[in-house]
Amino acid sequence: MLASTMALANCVSSAHAQEADQKIIGKFNDKIESGLMTPEILQSFGRLSDVQISPDLKKILYGVSYTDVKENKGNRELFVMDINGKNNRQITSTAFSEYSAVWYNNGKQIMYLSRQSGSGQIWIMEADGSNPRKVSDYKDGINGFLLSPDQKKVLFFTDIKYGETIQDVYPDLDKAEASIHTDLMYKHWDEWVTTVPHPYIADISETSMDNIVDIMPGEFFECPMKPFSGTEDFAWSPDGKTLAYTCRKKEGLEYSISTNSDIYLYNIETKNTRNITDGMMGYDTHPEFSPKGDYIAWTSMERDGYESDKNRLFIMDLKSGERIFLSENYDNNVDKFIWGKDAKTIYFISVNKATAQLFSIDVKTKKYKELTQGDHDYSSLALAGNELITTRRSMSAPDEIFSYNLKSGKTEQLTFENKHILDQLTLGKVEKRWIKTTNGEDMLTWVMLPANFDPNKKYPALLYCQGGPQSPVSQFWSYRWNIQMMAANGYVVVLPNRHGLPGFGQKWNEQISGDYPGQNMEDYIAAINEVKQEPWVDQDRLGAIGASYGGFSVYWLAGNHNKLFKTFIAHAGIFNLEAQYLETEELWFANWDMGGNFWDKSNKVAQRTYENSPHRFLENWDTPILVIHGEKDYRILASQGMMAFNAAKIKGIPTEMLIYPNENHWVTKPQNSVLWQRVFFRWLDKWLK
C-alpha cells in the first residue's frame, strides 16, 4: 500500500529521481500492492501546470505541485526540459512553493513568485535554478505578475483594503470583532470582502522593482476579477506601450446582479484609459494582442447576468476600431486561445461533444477546423514554432505535457510525471454511448466500468450528477470527484451529458435556464434506466451522487425517484431554492437560472422553479442520504446542507452529515480530501454492497 507520508517539498517522481538535487530526501517509489486507487494514492499524484516556452523555443518551463498528507500541506517545484521532452530536470527543491514562473533575460534566467519571505514576492534565479534572490519587497505582497515584452516593466496585482473596518469608525473598540455592511457583495465564495485585488505597473530589473504606478487610481474594483481570474485578465501590447486589462467596474448591488465586464486599454505614457468593449453587455475577458499589435482578441458573452452564456471570440482592428465576431459560425464555447505567429490564425480549445479539443480559426474567412480528436481533454495552449505545446488529461490520467505538430497533425507526449503510479494501477475502462432522451434527442453518456471488470458479475451503479449547472461532463480528472476512484471501489459510474451542458450547441446548453426541475432531471433518469438494463448492473443497488447543482439534483431526485435509488450523496447542494435566492452572493446566477425572485407571483418561470424546490418534496423522502458541506461556502451556504440533514433526521431516514468548518465550495486541504473519500465510500459500501 502506498505510504501517505512523503516528505513535504521533497517529493519527486521516480522519473526525476536520478537528476534530483541531493537535498531531496524522499521520492515516490512505493509498490502499490493492491493495484487499485486509494485516497492516499490519489493525493500522491504530481499536479502539473503553467507551461512556459523559452524565447528561443528550445525549452519548456513548468511546475508540479506535490501533496504531503501527513503534514496536511502541498508544495510546488519547478522543472525544465528540452522542447522535445528530453533532459527533464527539477531546478528547485525548497520548502516554499515556486509559482507563476516565466523566462527572463532571453532565457538565461527565470522570474517567479515565492512566499519564502512571508508574503508573495518576485524572485529571480539562473535558468538552472541556482542563485535565487528576491527582487521585490512590496509591503502588501504580490499575488501575480506579467512582464512587459522588453522585460523592463512588470504589471503586478496585490490586495488593497476595501471598505471601513469597525476600528476605522470606532478606534477605541480595538478588540471588537464585527463588520457593518450597507450594500451587497459583502461576501464572495469563501471570504468576507475586506480587500480587492488591484493592479500596478513598475520598473523591474535583476535587483529591484521601483517607480510603482497605480493604473486604476481611486478605483476599488476587482482587477483581476474574483474568484478565478489571474494574469489572463491582462495583456501587454508587443511594443510595451499599452496594457489591456479586464474589469467589471461595479460595486454592491450593481455588481451582484451583473456580469458586464469590459476590456480597457491603459496607455503607459499618457496614463489614459479607454474602454474598447463599451456596449457589449456580458463577460468580456482574456485580452490578447496579435503578434504585431495591430489587433486585439478577447472572449465575450452576449448577455448581462448570464454567467454561462456562449463564450464567443472577438477581435478588434485597433487602427479602425472595427470589432469582428470571429467565431460566429461556431456553436460552442471558445475557451483558451492564442494567436498564430503570422496572425492569420487563432488556435483555441473548445468542448465539443464531451471532450475538449484543439481548434484553429482563420482570421480572414472565419472558417474553423477541429485539429484533434479522442477521449481526452486539452487544457492549455502555448506556441513553439510549428508546435502547439499543450497539457492534456482524461478520466484515466491527470495533466501531462503534449506537443501537437501543426503540419503533420502528430501528437506526442512529452512528460510522464505520473507514469510510475499509473503503471501500477488497474484502472476502469471508459465507454461512450448515446442515449435517447424523453424529448427524442441523443445524449452522450460516459460509462465507467469497475477496475478488474468481469461481465459475468453484477455491480452496484452510481448516477453522477454534474454541477455548474452548465459545466461539461468531459474527460475531466478530479482530485475529489475522481471517477477512477469510484471504479477502484467496484462501482459502475454513469455520467450523462444532460441538457444544460456546453459542447452540444447553444440550444442544448441553454435548455436548463429556468427549468431546473425539468428536462435535465428526465435525462438523469433516462441514462440510469438504460444502463441498469446491462446484465452486469444490479438494479437493486443504484445510488445518485453530485455536488453544487449536482447536489441540488440529488436532493430533487430524493423526492422524485420512485424508489429507483437505494442511497444518495449530496455535496454543497441547494436544498431550498427560496432560501438560496436570498443567501447567495452572486444574484446574477439566481436571477438567470431560477428565473427571478420568488415573491413576484406574475413571473411564471420563477414560480415554477420555486414550486419544484427539493424541500417541497420532503413527504416523499424515504432513502438514506449523506450530506457534505463546507461552512466557508458562501456561494451555497452550509445551512442548505444542514436543512437537508435535519429534515432527513426528523423523518427517521438514515442520514449522516460531514461538515467542514474551514472548507469552501470545494475541499482543498489534503487530510480533509482523504477524509472526504473515506466517508464517501464508507457510506456507499454500507448501502450498496
Is residue 276 classed as helix, strand or coil in its secondary structure?
coil
| Confidence class for position 34, pLDDT limits 50, 70, 90 | confident
Is residue 542 classed as helix, strand or coil in its secondary structure?
strand
Number of Cα atoms under 13 Å in the Cβ half of residue 554: 35
| Confidence class for position 16, pLDDT limits 50, 70, 90 | very low
- The 3-state secondary structure of 286-321 reads EEEECCCCCEEEEEECCCCCCCCCCCEEEEEECCCC
The residue annotated as part of the active site, out of 188, 286, 561, 665, is 665
Which pLDDT tens digit goes with each residue over 137-160?
Answer: 999 999 999 999 999 999 999 999
Which pLDDT tens digit goes with each residue over 579-627?
Answer: 999 999 999 999 999 999 999 999 999 999 999 999 999 999 999 999 9
Give the mean model confidence (pLDDT) for residues 275-294: 98
Cβ(296)–Cβ(290) below 8 Å: yes
Task: Assess whether pLDDT exceeds 90 at residue 28.
Answer: no
The residue annotated as part of the active site, out of 350, 548, 553, 673, is 548
Alpha helices in 84-185 (DSSP H): 166-169
pTM comes to 0.94
pLDDT score for 3: 31
Give the mean model confidence (pLDDT) for residues 332-339: 98
pLDDT score for 30: 63
Which pLDDT tens digit goes with each residue over 104-143?
Answer: 999 999 999 999 988 999 999 999 999 999 999 999 999 9
| pLDDT more than 70, % of the chain | 96
Told to judge if 4 belongs to the known catalytic residues of this protein, a careful annotator would answer no
pLDDT score for 541: 98
pLDDT score for 33: 81
Rounded mean pLDDT of the chain?
A: 94
Which pLDDT tens digit goes with each residue over 125-136?
Answer: 999 999 999 999
Q: Which residues pair with 242 in a beta bridge?
A: 267
For the chain, the straight-line distance linking the first and the last C-alpha, in angstroms and rounded, comes to: 23
Which distant-in-sequence residues (6+ apart) come within 8 Å of 183 by Cβ? Answer: 251, 252, 253
Residues in the chain: 689
Is residue 361 classed as helix, strand or coil in its secondary structure?
strand
CA distance 29 to 31: 6
| Beta strands 109-114 and 442-448, pairing class | unpaired
Which pLDDT tens digit goes with each residue over 500-557?
Answer: 999 999 999 999 999 999 999 999 999 999 999 999 999 999 999 999 999 999 999 9
CA distance 263 to 277: 6
pLDDT score for 106: 97
Told to judge if 665 belongs to the known catalytic residues of this protein, a careful annotator would answer yes
DSSP string, 412-423: EE---TTHHHHT
Cβ(542)–Cβ(460) below 8 Å: yes
All cell numbers assigned to 325:
465576431
Cβ(635)–Cβ(584) below 8 Å: yes
pLDDT score for 12: 36
What is the residue extent of each domain of the chain?
1-134, 426-688
**What's the CATH number of domain 426-688, 3.40.50.1820, 3.40.50.2020, 3.90.330.10, 3.90.320.10?**
3.40.50.1820
Give the mean model confidence (pLDDT) for residues 484-497: 98
Task: Assess whether pLDDT exceeds 60 at residue 27.
Answer: no
Task: Assess whether pLDDT exceeds 60 at residue 18.
Answer: no
554, 555, 560, 564 alpha-carbon torsion, rounded to 10°: 40
pLDDT score for 32: 81
Instruction: Work out the burial of residue 279: count CB atoms within 10 Å of its CB; fewer than 13 is exposed, 13-18 middle, 19 or more buried.
Output: exposed
Task: Assess whether pLDDT exceeds 90 at residue 461.
Answer: yes
Q: Cα–Cα–Cα angle for 608, 614, 619, nearest 5°?
A: 110
Largest CA distance in the chain: 75
CA distance 635 to 188: 7
Cβ(381)–Cβ(390) below 8 Å: yes
CA distance 253 to 182: 10
Distances (CA, A) of 118 to 96, 138, 164, 258: 10, 11, 26, 36
Task: Assess whether pLDDT exceeds 90 at residue 15.
Answer: no
Task: Assess whether pLDDT exceeds 60 at residue 7.
Answer: no
DSSP string, 554-599: HHHHHTTSTT--SEEEEES--S-HHHHHHH-S-HHHHHHHH-S-SS
pLDDT score for 217: 97
How many angstroms from the chain centroid is the CA of residue 79?
Answer: 23
Closest to 116 (Cα-Cα) out of 91, 135, 139, 134: 134
Task: Assess whether pLDDT exceeds 70 at residue 22.
Answer: no
| Confidence class for position 1, pLDDT limits 50, 70, 90 | very low
